[in-house]
Structure 1
Amino acid sequence: MNQQTVQRQTAIGIAATGVFFPPQVETADALAEKTGIPADVIRDKFGLVQKHVSDSTMHASDMAIAAGRAILKEVDPLSIDVVIYFGSPHKDYPVWSSAPKIQHELGAKNAYAFEMMNVSSCFPMALKVAKDMLTADASIENILLVGGCKESHIIDYQNPRSRFMFNFADGGAAALVRRGNLTNQILGSCFITDGSFHNDVKVPAGGSVLPASEQTVRDRLHYIDVADPADMKVRLDPVSVPNFIRVVKKAVANSGHRVEDIDLLLPLHTKKSMFHEMLDGLGLKEEQAVYLDHHGHMSALDPCIGLHFAKQQGRLKGGDLVVTVSAGTGYTWAATVIQWGRESFVTPV
């Protein structure tokens, strides 16, 4: 077996992406009425012009399915070996796996399905899991990553501790990871978890600690809450951006590259100041990143959606080094590198 054949068999790349957004849009002006924060502050400081929100008939699984269907228009559903849900943990039901429903509705009858959950940090991790599965199991050829988000509905605008999360939005995203895909190859990754933040952000009621009751509903405990925003800020601000930069640098190094080689950064949606701090720390310009100011933050979906938009807008060219980077409460920072568009045989260390 010659070297090129071996490389083709071991190459693992992203063959396609898909997105879905519900039609209803909420603008900065509408959010200003809900939050009491001036619309220009929402647009300029928080970096949100508008976002998509779903109605009561559409759930996270439905949006994941819609994004997956965008890919399967061109791909035989029966060729999918594994379906992995990587989206929001706020799904149709609290104790329930959406993956079997998604597999069934997409007609991926030959696939087994399961869920990954690490809140907003999950897409870079899902890319690594898919790559590692394809590396370890020669019987797998195609893995469909799908995610949905309906987190706009767990914001309590009456709660001053958490209403700053108004950038939470709704949508769906999907990526097809394929063996033998010599272009758009998934390279190295890096993840950091600091569990000291495990109790800072959560939906307080509905689990085993505080089961749902009339009282928890009256007390509005089924919305996302921050126990002590000032305390979390004191602890999180010194480490958050440094950890973003650290996982990006390490993921790039694990891919056999340098930070100077980065062509495009695909981060989660954050306020403008954090976005610019990340860029400055990596020596990147604003045009070297995708900023979702018309879509907001959709849990783990943001980097996948950014990749789809970059491809759609012609911002990717052969050989570009692309970094997906995100972070999720708990707190985990995650980055995975993709070499776009050409036959690249760099072996991550």
Structure 2
Amino acid sequence: MGIGIKATGVFFPPGIETAADLAVKTGIPEQVIIEKFGLVQKHVADDGLHVSDLAIAAGRQAIKGIDPLSIDVVIYFGSPHKDYYVWSSAPKIQHELGAKNAYAFEIMNVSSCFPIALKVAKDMIASDQSIQNILLVGGCKESQIIDYANPRSRFMFNFADGGTAALVTRDSSQSEILESAILTDGSFHDDVRTPAGGSKHFASHETVEKSLHYIDVKDPQSMKDRLDPVSIANFDHVIREALQRSGYTPQDIKLLLPLHTKRSMFKELLQSLELPEEKAVYLNHHGHMSSLDPCIGLHFAQERGLLNPGDIAVAVSAGTGYTWAATVVKWEGEKR
């Protein structure tokens, strides 16, 4: 047995927005949202549920039947849009889960973070014999920062809400975390951001009146012109490199666990790897939840019996800024 994921958890708020609801909000036809955005519906949290609540609910599911005192580290890897500004959710999550023996911290790289978090957890356990169990936990309420009246943010209309968690342990009988590959192209650092709230444009009456507290794309056409030629190539690169480092090839992939993207990008990625759609989890009933998507995909794969002993899964994601990341997981669980 090696260092791997022992258990996962998910939580989704009860509120749902369908493609028809989004069509009313955006003016985009319902069938376009379904067929091109790849979104049938998504979960949306109300004012009573926040990022830490979503993460805690998922964390409880992941550690069900496990003594929380056996957790050595709690790492929050979710959305940077949290309950409060300049605030760490990790200590609250540690406290509410009863993981009193764990120290807690956060890593954040927007949507690319789950494959990175798997690498961090694996490397920490490998380098520190005192660590047995690390709980990776994330939440997302990014539906709240979308301005549907802003056409520049169109590609983010699939942003949704939820929570997920993965318990990484030294001796996992369920799976083994293998190798990772990460690529950053910092030339995209200025393309996507929430303009106000930071030190450059501190919150004021003016920033609120100008709707500067919603996520925005500075120049969509410029970003598209620069990103389209490299995006799929970079996805393909990190997947192939992570597989090569793990001793495998794309032909060995049993299941791809990608972030939710528009359907054309999803299909193009599969074509580049020569994978059929049934070898990927596509979250068309959940949308995009920052860094959570690949972890949620893994949870669904277990629930649906899509993985058997020896199967290779690849968690892959990308985050604005722009970073692409992939981590290979070898499944060791029971045969379905």
Decide: shared fold, TM above 0.5: yes
**Residue 46 (1) aligns with residue 37 (2):** yes
**Residue 108 (1) aligns with residue 105 (2):** no
User: What's the counterpart of residue 222 of structure 1?
Assistant: 213
Q: CA deviation at 1:342?
A: 5.7
- Asked if the contact 2:6–2:173 (Cα under 8 Å) also holds between the matched residues in 1, the reply is no
Instruction: Quote the Cα distance in structure 1 between the aligned partners of 2:43 and 2:333.
Output: 34
**Residue 36 (1) aligns with residue 30 (2):** no
- Letter aligned with residue 206 of structure 2: Q
User: What's the counterpart of residue 255 of structure 1?
Assistant: 246
Determine which of 272, 276, 294 is the counterpart of 1:281: 272
| TM-score, normalisation: structure 1 | 0.95
Q: Any residues of structure 2 matched to 1:18-167 within 5 Å, and which?
A: 18-167=9-158
Determine which of 326, 330, 334 is the counterpart of 1:335: 326
User: What's the counterpart of residue 267 of structure 1?
Assistant: 258
Q: CA deviation at 1:79?
A: 0.4
- Asked if the contact 2:7–2:63 (Cα under 8 Å) also holds between the matched residues in 1, the reply is no
Q: CA deviation at 1:73?
A: 1.9
- Asked if the contact 2:63–2:167 (Cα under 8 Å) also holds between the matched residues in 1, the reply is no
Q: CA deviation at 1:163?
A: 3.3
- Asked if the contact 2:78–2:138 (Cα under 8 Å) also holds between the matched residues in 1, the reply is yes
**Residue 172 (1) aligns with residue 163 (2):** yes
Q: CA deviation at 1:166?
A: 1.0
Instruction: Quote the Cα distance in structure 2 between the aligned partners of 1:342 and 1:164.
Output: 37
Q: CA deviation at 1:203?
A: 0.2
- Asked if the contact 1:162–1:225 (Cα under 8 Å) also holds between the matched residues in 2, the reply is yes
Instruction: Quote the Cα distance in structure 2 between the aligned partners of 1:259 and 1:71.
Output: 29
**Per-residue Cα deviation, 1:185-239 (whole angstroms, up to 9, x for no partner):** 0001000000000000000000001100000000000000000000000000000
**Per-residue Cα deviation, 1:278-325 (whole angstroms, up to 9, x for no partner):** 000001000000000000000000000000000000111111000000
- Asked if the contact 1:249–1:259 (Cα under 8 Å) also holds between the matched residues in 2, the reply is yes
**Per-residue Cα deviation, 1:10-36 (whole angstroms, up to 9, x for no partner):** x20100000000001000000001111
Instruction: Quote the Cα distance in structure 1 between the aligned partners of 2:270 and 2:64.
Output: 36
- Asked if the contact 1:12–1:182 (Cα under 8 Å) also holds between the matched residues in 2, the reply is no
SS state at 2:228 partner: helix
User: What's the counterpart of residue 347 of structure 1?
Assistant: none
User: What's the counterpart of residue 233 of structure 1?
Assistant: 224
- Letter aligned with residue 170 of structure 1: D
Instruction: Quote the Cα distance in structure 1 between the aligned partners of 2:15 and 2:163.
Output: 14
Instruction: Quote the Cα distance in structure 1 between the aligned partners of 2:237 and 2:48.
Output: 41
Instruction: Quote the Cα distance in structure 1 between the aligned partners of 2:87 and 2:210.
Output: 25
Q: CA deviation at 1:60?
A: 0.6
- Asked if the contact 1:155–1:163 (Cα under 8 Å) also holds between the matched residues in 2, the reply is no
Determine which of 286, 293, 296 is the counterpart of 1:305: 296
**Residue 314 (1) aligns with residue 305 (2):** yes
Task: Give aligned pairs, total.
Answer: 334
More deviation in 252-261 or 226-235?
252-261
Instruction: Quote the Cα distance in structure 2 between the aligned partners of 1:194 and 1:98.
Output: 28
- Letter aligned with residue 276 of structure 2: K
What stretches of structure 1 move > 4 A for 4+ residues in a row? none
Percent pairwise identity? 71
- Asked if the contact 2:134–2:169 (Cα under 8 Å) also holds between the matched residues in 1, the reply is yes
Q: CA deviation at 1:182?
A: 4.1
Instruction: Quote the Cα distance in structure 1 between the aligned partners of 2:197 and 2:112.
Output: 23
Instruction: Quote the Cα distance in structure 2 between the aligned partners of 1:239 and 1:148.
Output: 29
- Asked if the contact 2:12–2:54 (Cα under 8 Å) also holds between the matched residues in 1, the reply is yes
Instruction: Quote the Cα distance in structure 2 between the aligned partners of 1:183 and 1:53.
Output: 31
Instruction: Quote the Cα distance in structure 2 between the aligned partners of 1:50 and 1:237.
Output: 26
Determine which of 243, 260, 285 is the counterpart of 1:294: 285
5+ unaligned residues in a row in structure 1: which ranges? 1-7, 344-349
User: What's the counterpart of residue 189 of structure 2?
Assistant: 198
SS state at 1:177 partner: strand
- Letter aligned with residue 106 of structure 1: L
- Asked if the contact 1:198–1:329 (Cα under 8 Å) also holds between the matched residues in 2, the reply is yes
- Asked if the contact 2:17–2:42 (Cα under 8 Å) also holds between the matched residues in 1, the reply is yes
Q: CA deviation at 1:72?
A: 2.2
5+ unaligned residues in a row in structure 2: which ranges? none
Q: CA deviation at 1:160?
A: 1.3
SS state at 2:54 partner: helix
- Asked if the contact 1:124–1:325 (Cα under 8 Å) also holds between the matched residues in 2, the reply is yes
Q: CA deviation at 1:183?
A: 3.6
Instruction: Quote the Cα distance in structure 2 between the aligned partners of 1:335 and 1:163.
Output: 26
